[in-house]
Structure 1
Amino acid sequence: MTAPLRLSTVILPVYRWNEAGRAVWQRAEELGFHAAYTYDHLAWRTFRDGPWFGALPTLTAAAAATDTMRLGTLVTSPNFRHPVTLAKELISLDDISGGRITLGIGAGGNGFDATTLLKADEEPWTPRERADRFGEFLTLLDQLLSEPAGTTYEGRFYSATEARNVPGCVQRPRLPFAVAATGPRGLRLAARHGQAWVTTGDPKLYETGTPEQSVEAIGDQLTKLGKACAEAGRDAAELDKILLTGFTPDRGRPLESLDAFVDFAGRHAELGFTEIVIHWPIAESAFAADQKVFERIATEAVAQLG
């Protein structure tokens, strides 16, 4: 029997906690979202010159302000993090939340995070180096969270010497990884380490593609994920499939009405997605949407999808 589709949201870390942040995260739980995620960036695109807070402190506050909703990053990357310090923060966050944390994680990309820590004469990572770093980062992080008594690791980019994370995660053997990937190397990592796989669709179709082409491309990604899982000796059905919306040719149209969203979600559920994530509305941004329509989608869409 097919599991029911779950609906989650992304709340960008743009709110002062005591002014609006707490209320937004609590409202997300009241609306019944399966999970609420946030971006893990130092700054992001058009939001660069406005308020932007740290992901893990925000999630810690959200964990204290909510009771049942899952929480997580969507996504963390190696751009400005190290596996040893990230693991310590994650076991702490998993403990504070009572075992409600999912780590969305990906290779990262170009942009503010990729250059903020560089010296003036340093070149940004090449795509190959980024992929190499991600593979090593994810492997070490998996070990750090799964073996809390102590981890020693020596790699090309990252190392650890008797790194301890006692008592480990509340969730065993560790908190789940939702691995964002579309290329062959990333999909192999998702198959090896992931409890879920994340996609935003095919970025080449965002500007000029059609919704139909997007669905076809995402279906192809799912096929490739299945092959990667088979090569890793896993059943692809073991992994949740998460679609982060807002980056397909549909853009914000699925949030224009309940019917539009149900149609969009239904087409992707048929592909095999188990979770669809929509952005909490932010006025005068790429994520602008009618709050009343958004809340109706949150409370009614899953039931209509059956």
Structure 2
Amino acid sequence: MKHGIVLLPEHRWKAAAERWRAAEQLGYDHAWTYDHLMWRWLADRPWYGSIPTLTGAAAVTRAIGLGILVATPNFRHPVVLAKDLVSVDDIAEGRLVCGLGAGAPGYDVSILGGAALTPRARADRFDAFVELLDAVLVRGDVDETSAWYTASGVTFHPRAGDGRRLPFAVAATGPRGMALAARFGQIWITSGPPADFGTRPLREVMPVLRKQLRGVEAACEHEGRDPGTLRRLFVADASAGGITGSLGAYEDAAGELEEAGFTDLVVHWPRPEPPYQGDEQVVVDFAEKHLAGER
């Protein structure tokens, strides 16, 4: 199993840089930051942009994977996002992963005056978002218009002529999103039941996770894809909490998730206060016991 950690973009860079370096030194496989204009519990606090943050992280680390968790159509256009992604990935020398999600209602919509969308409309928009982002990154030359986006006479450089496209990690809990993960993703992401921040014990969430695993496997099979080629990533501390409450809890959760079929576990860097309140030493102890020497 691969292990990752989320670093909220809430600290000035001098302090934040030390945490990104620490995540790499501890041996984590990947480190992520959130992509929001404002974020639910910290809307009245400092909150920095994901693209500049990941650019800085790319410059102060050498090997750890770097990821957006997750870019959405709420305020991103695929053509502009593609340019930003390729720029960061170049600085990171190929270490960037682009997490993608449909985008839930909230500040990212309301502060720009966006219209409230039905779940079906958000799913339609997400289809168009992922398809256009992939087209720009893979083909480079794009000239098309949909109900959601215009990409008029795009000639995108650098072109992906070598066939490589930076990895997509698609967050999905339903059939349509899972189909996108199966078509375009290298990683599928879930945090359990959607919009659930109950932080219940993992054992109470596992039935939902097992059902979701079956769903994403079925989506792969429908696309004619080997389900084993799609990594399956669980983001802790939303629907399931307490995982970093102790070293034993962290170890037990990692074992149970791996046995169920997950390939990656991502936790949040513990904060001194909610959300994600906890003891940093647990993260350090887990890394020293299980991740030391892997990088």
TM range (shorter): over 0.9
**Is 1:273 matched up with 2:273?**
no
Once residues 24 and 202 of structure 2 are traced to their aligned partners in structure 1, the CA distance between those partners, rounded to angstroms, is 30
Read off the aligned partner of 2:226 and give its amino acid letter: D
**Is 1:94 matched up with 2:89?**
yes
**Is 1:16 matched up with 2:12?**
yes
Pairwise mapping of residues 142-221 of structure 1 onto structure 2 (< 5 A)?
Answer: 142-148=134-140, 150-168=141-159, 172-203=163-194, 207=198, 211-221=202-212
Structure 2 counterpart of 1:45: 40
TM superposition score normalised by structure 2: 0.94
Read off the aligned partner of 2:177 and give its amino acid letter: G
Change (3 A) 1:85 1:204: closer
Once residues 46 and 170 of structure 1 are traced to their aligned partners in structure 2, the CA distance between those partners, rounded to angstroms, is 42
Q: Is there any run of 5+ residues in structure 2 with no aligned partner, and where?
A: none
Structure 1 contact 13–58 (Cα < 8 Å) conserved: yes
Read off the aligned partner of 1:163 and give its amino acid letter: V
**Is 1:136 matched up with 2:128?**
yes
TM superposition score normalised by structure 1: 0.91
Read off the aligned partner of 2:186 and give its amino acid letter: Q
CA-based RMSD = 1.8
Q: Is there any run of 5+ residues in structure 1 with no aligned partner, and where?
A: none
Following superposition, which runs of at least 4 residues in structure 1 exceed 3 angstroms of deviation?
168-172, 203-211
Structure 2 counterpart of 1:229: 220
Change (3 A) 1:187 1:65: same
Read off the aligned partner of 1:77 and give its amino acid letter: T
Structure 1 contact 13–53 (Cα < 8 Å) conserved: yes
Once residues 138 and 196 of structure 2 are traced to their aligned partners in structure 1, the CA distance between those partners, rounded to angstroms, is 38
Structure 1 counterpart of 2:73: 78
Identical aligned residues as a percent: 43
Pairwise mapping of residues 266-305 of structure 1 onto structure 2 (< 5 A)?
Answer: 266-301=255-290
Partner SS state of residue 164, structure 2: coil
Once residues 200 and 169 of structure 1 are traced to their aligned partners in structure 2, the CA distance between those partners, rounded to angstroms, is 31
Once residues 63 and 291 of structure 2 are traced to their aligned partners in structure 1, the CA distance between those partners, rounded to angstroms, is 18
